[in-house]
Structures are given as C-alpha cells and as structure tokens.
Structure 1
Amino acid sequence: MNLVDEGLPQSTSEGSLKTVFSQFGEVCRVKIVTDKKTKSSLGFAYVWFNGEDFAQVAVTEMNGKFLDGKFVSVSMAKPGSCKSRVKATPYQF
C-alpha cells in the first residue's frame, strides 16, 4: 500500500521517514519527491508498506501530526500517482 506524506520540511530525510513509519508495519520503500532541476524536496513523499492494513493504521495515526517541525498530511495515494521504476509490492501507498 502506498501513502502520500505532504507538508514535509526540507530537512526531512527518507531514512527518518522510514524510521517514523516503521512503527506501523514493515516499510518497503520511501521516496521523497524532488525537483528535477534543483534536486530540492517538493515537500511530499511516498511510503510503501508490505500490507494495506499497515498503511491504513499509518494514515490514521500520522495524519495531522507534527513531524520535523511541521504538521503533515498523510493519505492513501491514488493509483498511478507515483511512477516507479521499481516493481511495486502488492500493497503501496
């Protein structure tokens, strides 16, 4: 299951997101979306879990929470919203 985490500060790393979201289940992958030219964060990321139930709990627990100095919005990603070159696991967010 694939989550979208929006409102991230520039200082947030993929490693820190994996650590935070791992408390809800096994995180398979994290991708902070960056500007192609500047390589700076666009303030949102995708987090992949190995099960939809883990993703649902993460949305419930993390949406609207304070993370790295900002309130974040966490929701389930819409199908096809993250174009990935890596073969997706059965559940993504």
Structure 2
Amino acid sequence: MSIYVGNLSYQVTDEDLRDVFKDYGEVKRVQVPTDRETGKMRGFAFVEMSNEAEESAAIDALDGAEWMGRNLKVNKAKPREDRDRGGNRFGGDNRRGGGGGGGYNSSRNRY
C-alpha cells in the first residue's frame, strides 16, 4: 500500500520526501507526478514504505503538519478508479465532437 501526500510545495523533490519519511521507517519508493505538458510537479506525491506499521506512524505524525509553508494532507492512498473516458450522462460519446447544426444546406434551402 502507498501513502498519499497532498498540498505539497511545488519545489518539493523526491529526496525531500525521502528525508521526511525516513524518520518513520524504510522508504521503498517515492513518486512525484508531474504535469504532462509543463513537466512541473502537480502538488502531490505517493510514498511507499516497508510495512503498514511504518506507514501508519508516518500518517499519524505528518497529516496536518506544516512543512515548507504548507499544511500536509497525508493518508492511505486509495486505488485508482477506472474512469470512463467517454460518454456523458445521456449515453453519448464526448470524444467525437458533436453535431452543431446551422449553416446552409443546399439540398433543403432552394430558392
């Protein structure tokens, strides 16, 4: 299981997070997602530790703590939900760009 760390400063690095979380146990992995277009950090990260006891200790100690000028949001990461990439509440597909209407139709608008 992983730990979600939110409300991070945009200057945070993987190493910064390792340094903070190592006080609570062995840090196995740190993932800092970046924006696809800009390459900048997105303000949250995931930290994986050796076992649940270490994760719980880190969550208890760091949730709500002030770090780098921000109050951290730290909790167990939830599994990513399968998101429906298409469709809308009416059953249509938003990806195709819909009809529109209007304009001149030469077969219907003869003079």
TM class, shorter-chain normalised? 0.7 to 0.9
Question: Runs of 5+ in structure 2 lacking a partner?
Answer: 82-111
**Could you tell me which residue of structure 2 aligns to residue 44 of structure 1?**
44
Greater relative contact order (Cα < 8 A, sep 6+): 1
Provide the identity percentage.
31
Question: Runs of 5+ in structure 1 lacking a partner?
Answer: 82-93
Distance in 2 separating the partners of 1:56 and 1:80: 20
What RMSD over aligned residues (CA atoms) do the two structures have, in Å?
A: 1.1
**Could you tell me which residue of structure 2 aligns to residue 66 of structure 1?**
66
> Which of structures 1 and 2 has the bigger CA Rg?
2
* Number of residue pairs matched by the alignment: 81
Q: Give the TM-score taking structure 1 as reference length.
A: 0.83
Q: Deviations over 1:33-55 (max 9, x none)?
A: 11111111110000000101100
Q: Give the TM-score taking structure 2 as reference length.
A: 0.70
Distance in 1 separating the partners of 2:69 and 2:11: 9
Higher strand share: 1
